[in-house]
Amino acid sequence: MTRPSIFKKTFLLSLILTAVTVAPATWGAPTVTPAPPAAGVYQPTAAESAAAMWSSRILARYHYHPVALDAALSQKILTRYFEELDPERLLFTQAEVQSWLTRQPSLDAQLPNGDVSTPFAIFALYLKRIDARMAYEQAQLKTNMDFTLDESFRPDREKENWADSEAALIPLWHARVKNDWLRLRLAGEKDAAIRTTLGKRYDHSLAWVKKTTSDDVFQIFMTAYTNTIEPHTDYFGPRVAEEFDLSMSLSLDGIGCTLQLRDDVVVIRDIVPGSPAALSGRLHVGDKIMGVGQGTSGPFTDIVGWRLDDVVAIVRGKKDSTVRLDILPVRAGPDGKHTTVALVRNKISIAEQSAKKSIIETGAGTTKRRIGVITLPAFYEDFQARQDGNKAYKSATRDVAALLAQLKQAKVDGVLIDLRNNGGGALDEAVNLTGLFIDKGPVVQQLDAEKKLDVSSDTNAGTVWDGPMGVLINRGSASASEIFAAAIQDYGRGLILGSTSFGKGTVQTVIPLDKFGDGPQPRMGELKMTIAQFFRINGGTTQLRGVEPDVRLLPSLDDDLLGESTYTNALPYTTVKPAPFVPAGNLKDLIGPLQQQHLARTKASKSYRFLEDELAAQTALRKANLMSLNEAVRRKERDTLLAHMKAAEQLSGVKAAADDGMQGDERSLSAELAADAAIKKAKDIVLTEAADVIADEAGMQAKRQPAGI
């Protein structure tokens, strides 16, 4: 998400508060106050009713593209809510969906008054259908499956119609069970073991649904509501809002463990080096956390069976406070002796999301070059630390500047910024990061709801890196990534490599809804709302069209499923006047020769051509969206796949794992970690080719330079 600076965020909020001050008296508390829910009943809280009310009023007036909450929009919201609950069309019927779409009173009458009873009533029906489906699936495990029949099923049903009747749902459920069974059978499992595995799987699925809270129901509905307005408008409940802030600041107060839920028990999956957990020397990957106590002597709370996010919430805490863990050590076995580990919480850096560097050596002899690679997963910035005046606040630009200095010292010939799957982040960071590579000048233009055009510029003279460079993007590169890549391209500063980016050309701000309520505690959450559209300095926009690479490399498997163009309610492509700027260079004459060298190199590369063929085959298989449930047919398909995997192993040097029919938590933790390690070890052929292109660019740039005297 692209987020404006703190100051712009505050300014927007002040405008809204001013408008509310002079609004009609009807802008008061919700007229519907929910009664306290009975045990086991899903019902919104008073704070959630207020959040729905304020969100509906703010969105209708202050969104960049305001849409009136009327009967037509109400139907669209409910349609999306049904799709959020049942994306595979396995639970509801067409008649049921239609009856709710036309029921009165509709959402346009309910939401402005804080009435969210309709989505909660629909969720009650959802639970009944889940119960029915899981009961049917468990019953099917007691039967004998016939895999000689010529049957098939569609793994992706998101574009299918709702079932005509409840009876029409049964064949869909049956096909799912049969496919689950067949996958395990092809992996060598016997029928008795399959019944046990699937029985536990379906039990866990039902238990997971039963752990849904009223807060979850409200979050699902509000996501459906806000996304119906516009794809990048969202609602963050209090806990989701906290997670968002943590993701942007890349730090939290805790003990430094990554946790995972396995069979209703929380297991330590990873330990952050230098964290309290690591420094204690008493915690290990695979240890089970059975209870949590606060302080040096507080009572333990048994957490077996808890949701993972609830466990995380009580393990985290304020810096310098103490938490005690009741641990069943992985080395002790299931009946081993428990130990108590007391840890003092500290500031933990989320290092895996920080910028990282590496060096790729290309060519040989006189063409040998070293290319510095900086991988940036997000445009992060610790907003709160910056607002508090902390001069050492965490930011992507600062980290990249430090890495560039190290690469310069290592005497690299060129730099490649890897923004693949970087979904964006802070707008200021995109501007500042661009400033590391250009002298100074405009970076991005923003058009607000009042059609006022604002230009964000790099005002710091000089560069941190002025040598050959490129930016690697893919369909997952969005928002702030596109701002940076577009500016580098427009200035002629570097090459854009990869595949077309996401196409998100909108700017969001986050509005704390508690500003409109009473009390100091966060209760209503936050509204992430689109407030502007950004434009390139050449006057174009990345909206819908994205950033086109100068040299096109292999796309991802699901590129056609991603991107702004896949949204039916995306804002249109438009243009504005170009901003005056002075190009930093002109690489257009290099693009043709670089493309030719790239094609020649990849044509001679067995691994690259294998990836191209594999991508085409996997894409065709996914688009066919039909799998046989005949065992003989599937075995033949599996044998073909195994042959492809063997060829891939020879090229990559990494053993690929065949489909074992298991879900993540059904495998052992050691097997899961080994699979993760194998993925990290695998050769990144696209990255290597991108580095080769930058090396070629460096060679061409060197020939451009006049001879010294």
Calculate helix-pair angle for 606-624, 588-603, nearest 10 degrees: 90
Do residues 344 and 322 lie in contact, with contact meaning Cβ atoms separated by under 8 Å?
Answer: yes
The residue from 490, 514, 692, 696 that is catalytic is 490
CB atoms within 10 A of CB 384: 14
**Distance (Å, whole) CA 267 – CA 304:** 11
Using a 10 angstrom Cβ sphere, with 0-12 exposed, 13-18 middle and 19 or more buried, the burial of residue 218 is buried
**Distance (Å, whole) CA 367 – CA 495:** 20
For residue 479, indicate whether it is catalytic: yes
Do residues 141 and 177 lie in contact, with contact meaning Cβ atoms separated by under 8 Å?
Answer: yes
| DSSP three-state, residue 347 | strand
Which tokens is 228 given? Answer: 């119906």
Q: Is the link from the previous residue into 112 a cis peptide, with omega within 30 of 0?
A: no
Which tokens is 329 given? Answer: 């050590």
For residue 504, indicate whether it is catalytic: yes
**Distance (Å, whole) CA 605 – CA 607:** 5
Cα R_g (the chain), whole angstroms: 27
The residue from 56, 251, 275, 479 that is catalytic is 479
Phi then psi for residue 362, to 5 deg, are -125, 160
User: Virtual CA dihedral for 117, 120, 124, 129, nearest 10 degrees?
Assistant: 130
Closest CA to 483 of 455, 459, 464, 505: 505
Q: Which residues does 383 contact at the CB level (< 8 Å), separation at least 6?
A: 3, 6, 245, 248, 249, 426
For residue 605, indicate whether it is catalytic: no
Q: Which residues does 406 contact at the CB level (< 8 Å), separation at least 6?
A: 357
**Distance (Å, whole) CA 169 – CA 163:** 6
**Distance (Å, whole) CA 197 – CA 666:** 8
Which tokens is 405 given? Answer: 């200095």
- Identify the residue whose tokens are 């649904």: 209
By DSSP bridging, strand 369-375 and strand 414-418 are: parallel
The residue from 76, 178, 357, 504 that is catalytic is 504
Amino acid (1-letter code) at residue 41:
V
CB atoms within 10 A of CB 509: 25
How many residues are listed for the chain in this entry?
Answer: 709
Using a 10 angstrom Cβ sphere, with 0-12 exposed, 13-18 middle and 19 or more buried, the burial of residue 83 is middle
Please identify every residue annotated as catalytic.
479, 490, 504
